[in-house]
Structure 1
């Protein structure tokens, strides 16, 4: 399974890994609660892909410099 990472705020592509070479434990997915897992990871069984929400460097810096943006539903779109 291919695992694709993208920014939860600006939706930009961050990177990907071939899931056949790694497991949930090495990726840290095992430490997520069921709610976190449902929020962060989505699966497309047809394409054999998992999509993982994370935060890109640009959005991380913007949120650190302007924490009030976190009060908005879509802070960086």
Structure 2
């Protein structure tokens, strides 16, 4: 099983964490609501997960242009 981290804006792969076995409760045991979990964590094939987060470059752009926060995906 792999947990993959990718930027939700530019879709750059940030990193991966390999795991032999991990259960959903461990992965999702945090402060996210169910709606946030659905929005940020994707369960893929073969038990893999993708966590949609923000890379450093996109974070810097968001700091310069805060109105981008209103858009779900601002890089076309």
Partner of 2:11: 11
Cα deviation, residue 73, structure 1: 4.2
Name the CA distance, whole Å, in 1 between partners of 2:62 and 2:7.
Answer: 13
Query: Does the alignment pair 1:55 with 2:61?
Result: no
Task: Show CA shifts across 1:19-52 (max 9, x none).
Answer: 3376664x6x31211111111111113x331011
Show the 5 A alignment for 1:11-50: 11-20=11-20, 25=26, 29-31=28-30, 32-45=32-45, 47-50=46-49
TM normalised by structure 2 equals 0.79
The number of aligned residues is 74
Q: Over aligned residue pairs, what C-alpha RMSD do you find?
A: 2.1
Give unpaired runs (5+ residues) of structure 1. none
- Would you say the 8 A contact 1:43–1:51 is kept in 2? yes
Regions of 4+ moved over 6 Å:
none
1:73/1:5 CA distance change after superposition, 3 Å: closer
